[in-house]
């Protein structure tokens, strides 16, 4: 992958233009509250949400993704719109019942209290049309899993047309699927005259564009986990702007190896060693790496030891050590100003012996928040780890549920689902 530190290389005027263009994205994004109430009254509004939650034996597990759509839905029900919700769930290969959104409709109904949520098992055709015709103002209807139709992912024009015919106004409140060019994120919205962002999507774009383009300083990035490949684009954009980049998790071992530290059997991404070496040569001053480690010869033998410096041969680094935790924690939680972005656990936190680093960083993130820093946490496993550490969503400025989409946005990749909202 080429290193294109464009922002860093730009002179003052070009930087000004870049910042202007970036800020235009949020400015151009029209949100539902930009419409007059009279423009929403009685209108059918199709909202693309992300209800890709875990469902076990017909009941919803973690429902954060459902809860977070309440502000957008209730803003519209109060203005007497008729709301048609669409989402995907999992990766069904067919109409497999375990991927039905019916349990989600039930959970959403419970959350909404008096306004009940109806559900239809079809997304296009006569039945769903009749159902929508019969809706009263303020009613909410959830359609079945979009991925029960292969036309969704292939962005089929006919399917898009059918979806678009169901409503007057399109709203995207699913930032996490906005990097995809699917019928519900791209094909259908193009056919609406009025395309808007929901409150979640808007907030996600605001926070991500802030850290990508104009983070308040000092800006600290904490990066861990395993998927260097998915994170390198974001890292490339964030490195020039960050004051400090703290590396942990398996990701750190590729950097340590590039510096000549013995990483023994730790997870290494050898494909990206060249990139990492170059990044270290340009940004070495701001990159912080673990100086001690929790090691074992395998993940599940119930044994762990702490070492400084090199990892002994035959061993694997599974977590950052105490000294590193102290250094990282004071960087993250010790200030109370600026911005902290965290993506990727510091170790194999699923196993108790290797969870300490991640738990401490989660707690430091909460401390940073309470001290006044803007904090942003993203990544499926990172959010899971935060929960295990007992840090709630309310102790973070913004919980980014965007996953891969957030990383792509930070890398400056194309986002068809956002572009379609701002295109004339
Ligand atoms: P996220 O989902 O937050 O973006 P990733 O998917 O990149 O994070 O990585 C999370 C996974 O990385 C976790 O399952 C964790 O156990 C694993 N991991 C972190 N550090 C290590 C390590 N040193 N060795 C092996 N696996 C690790
Ligand atoms: Mg993950």
- DSSP sequence for 214-253: -PPSSEEEEE-SS-HHHHHHHHHHHTTT-SEEEE-HHHHH
What residues pair up with 320 in beta bridges, in sequence order?
293
Q: How far is the CA of 96 from the centre of ligand 2 (A)?
A: 25
Q: Which class in CATH covers the domain with range 29-204?
A: alpha beta
Q: How far is the CA of 42 from the centre of ligand 2 (A)?
A: 41
343 touches ligand 1 (CB under 6 Å): yes
Closest-approaching ligand to the CA atom of 320: 1
pLDDT attached to residue 334: 84
Q: How far is the CA of 299 from the centre of ligand 1 (A)?
A: 13
82 SS3 class: strand
pLDDT attached to residue 378: 92
Query: Which member of 227, 241, 327, 387 is catalytic?
Result: 227
CA 79/CA 72 separation, integer angstroms: 11
Q: Which of 223, 272, 348, 351 to mutate to test the pocket of ligand 1 (most atoms within 8 A of CB)?
A: 348
Q: How far is the CA of 37 from the centre of ligand 2 (A)?
A: 40
Question: How many Cβ atoms are within 10 Å of 213's Cβ, its own excluded?
Answer: 19
Closest-approaching ligand to the CA atom of 401: 1
Q: Tell me the CA distances in angstroms from 94 to 59, 90, 91, 104, 246, one per residue in order.
A: 20, 11, 9, 19, 43
CATH architecture of 215-411: 3-Layer(aba) Sandwich (3.40)
296 touches ligand 1 (CB under 6 Å): no
CA 251/CA 249 separation, integer angstroms: 5
Supply the residue whose CA is at minimum distance from atom 10 of ligand 1: 225
| CATH 3.40.50.1260 residue spans of the chain | 29-204, 215-411
Is the CB of residue 167 less than 8 Å from the CB of residue 86? no
Q: How far is the CA of 381 from the centre of ligand 2 (A)?
A: 5
Report strand pairing: 287-288 vs 244-247: parallel
Residues 6+ apart with CB under 8 A from 12: none
Is the CB of residue 419 less than 8 Å from the CB of residue 187? no
pLDDT attached to residue 229: 87
pLDDT attached to residue 28: 78
65 belongs to the catalytic site: yes
Supply the residue whose CA is at minimum distance from atom 1 of ligand 1: 379
Q: Tell me the CA distances in angstroms from 74 to 77, 108, 279, 362, one per residue in order.
A: 5, 12, 46, 32
380 touches ligand 1 (CB under 6 Å): yes
Closest-approaching ligand to the CA atom of 225: 1
CA 344/CA 280 separation, integer angstroms: 19
Query: Which member of 65, 79, 363, 408 is catalytic?
Result: 65
Convert 34-62 to b/e letters by CB count within 10 Å (16 or more is b). ebeeeebeebbbbbbbbbbbebeeeebee
Q: Which of 254, 315, 328, 345 to mutate to test the pocket of ligand 1 (most atoms within 8 A of CB)?
A: 345
pLDDT attached to residue 402: 86
pLDDT attached to residue 255: 97
pLDDT attached to residue 370: 95
269 touches ligand 1 (CB under 6 Å): no
Per-residue pLDDT of the chain (424 residues; tens, 9 = 90+): 333 334 344 445 554 444 454 455 566 799 999 999 999 999 999 999 999 999 999 999 989 899 999 999 999 999 999 999 999 999 999 999 999 999 999 999 999 986 689 999 999 999 999 999 999 999 999 999 999 999 999 999 999 999 999 999 999 999 999 999 999 999 999 999 999 999 999 999 999 999 999 999 999 999 999 988 889 999 999 999 999 999 999 999 999 999 999 999 999 999 999 999 999 999 999 999 999 999 999 999 999 999 999 999 999 999 999 999 999 999 999 877 899 999 999 999 999 999 999 999 999 999 999 999 999 999 989 999 999 999 998 999 999 988 889 999 999 999 999 999 998 6
């Amino acid at each position: 992958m080429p290193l294109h530190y464009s922002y860093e290389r730009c002179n003052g005027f070009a930087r000004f233009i870049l910042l202007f263009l970036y800020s235009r994205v949020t400015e151009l994004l029209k949100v539902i509250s930009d419409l007059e109430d009279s423009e929403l009254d009685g209108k059918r509004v199709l909202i693309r949400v992300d209800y890709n939650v875990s469902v076990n034996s017909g009941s919803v597990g973690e429902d954060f993704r459902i809860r977070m759509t309440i502000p957008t839905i209730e803003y519209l029900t109060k203005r007497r719109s008729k709301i048609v919700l669409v989402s995907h769930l999992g990766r069904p290969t067919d109409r497999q019942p375990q991927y039905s959104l019916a349990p989600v409709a039930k959970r959403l109904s419970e959350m909404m209290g008096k306004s009940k949520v109806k559900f239809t098992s079809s997304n296009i055709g006569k039945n769903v049309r009749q159902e929508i015709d019969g809706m009263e103002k303020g009613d909410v209807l959830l359609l079945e899993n979009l991925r029960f139709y292969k036309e969704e992912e292939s962005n089929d024009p006919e399917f898009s047309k059918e979806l678009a015919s169901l409503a007057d106004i399109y709203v995207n409140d699913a930032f996490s699927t906005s990097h995809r060019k699917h019928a519900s994120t791209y094909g259908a919205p193009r056919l609406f005259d009025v395309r808007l962002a929901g409150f979640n999507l808007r907030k996600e774009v605001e926070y991500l564009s802030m850290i990508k383009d104009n983070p308040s300083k000092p800006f600290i990035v904490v990066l861990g986990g395993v998927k260097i490949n998915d994170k390198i684009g974001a890292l490339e954009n964030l490195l020039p702007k960050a004051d400090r980049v703290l590396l942990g998790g398996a990701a750190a071992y590729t950097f340590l190896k590039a510096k000549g530290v013995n990483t023994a059997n730790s997870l290494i991404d050898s494909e990206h060693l060249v990139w990492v070496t170059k990044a270290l040569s340009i940004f070495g001053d701001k990159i912080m790496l673990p100086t001690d480690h929790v090691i074992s010869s395998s993940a599940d033998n119930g044994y762990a030891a702490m070492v400084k410096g090199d990892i002994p041969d035959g061993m694997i680094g599974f977590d950052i050590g105490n000294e590193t935790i102290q250094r990282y924690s004071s960087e993250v939680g010790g200030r109370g100003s600026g911005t902290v972005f965290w993506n990727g656990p510091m170790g194999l936190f699923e196993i108790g012996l290797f969870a300490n680093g991640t738990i401490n960083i989660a707690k430091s993130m909460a401390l940073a928040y309470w001290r006044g820093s803007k904090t942003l946490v993203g990544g499926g496993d990172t959010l899971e780890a935060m929960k295990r550490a007992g840090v709630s969503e309310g102790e973070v400025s913004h919980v980014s549920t965007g996953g891969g989409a957030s990383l792509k946005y930070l890398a400056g990749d194309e986002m068809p689902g956002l572009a379609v909202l701002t295109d004339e």
